[in-house]
Each structure stands twice: as C-alpha cells, then as structure tokens.
Amino acid sequence: MQRMGMVIGIAPEHVAEYKRLHAAVWPAVLARLAASNIRNYSIFLREPENLLFGVWDYHGSDYDADMAAIAADPETQRWWTFCSPCQRPLDSRAAGEHWAMMECVFHVD
C-alpha cells in the first residue's frame, strides 16, 4: 500500500458547489476508484487559503494503468465536468498533473 497526498486550489465562489457535489459522489465514480485500487480517500478544505488536500491509499501494482483507467471512464469524465471548473490547479504542479502530488514527510499509524 502507498499513501499519497495531493493539493489543488479551489475558487472561493465554488466552495459550496464542491461541497454539495462531494456530499453525494456518484456510485459509478466511487466504483471506478475502487476498481483502480484507491482506498481510504478523503478530501480536506482549507479556508481562507482555498486549498483542497486529498489523501488516499493506493493498493495496486500499476499506478499509471489504474490512473489511466480512471481517466478513460466515461462517468468519471462526466463527473469531472462538474468538479474541474471549481478547481484551480497550482502553478507549481508537475507537467501532466491536475492535482499537484505531495511528498509524505511524516506518518504514524
């Protein structure tokens, strides 16, 4: 298992909409995440900085293939049409990233 963290900005005028969307994530989107070996997924909001911090546990053996399966899923793509306009990717993110991946510097069970 690999615990992974990521960060992205959120437009302040879209915070309420983002919360509403994530209060009832579509079952097909959740199923795709599970099929792609994502477990224990949480998103946290930090205001007034308007940052979203995501953390999940990846239980697979081919991360790139699992992420490609998520990206290719039509229902996930439709979900993203609602979520992506709310988000503000960081200028410092790596090429090809939407959410900027973070380095884990401490963890305790």
Round to whole Å and give the CA distance between 1 and 63. Answer: 11
Residues assigned a catalytic role: 22
- What's the per-residue H, E or C state across 9-33? EECHHHHHHHHHHHCCCCHHHHHHH
Which residues are bridge partners to 6 per DSSP? Answer: 54, 101
What value, to the nearest 5°, has the Cα angle with vertex 78 and ends 65 and 83? 95
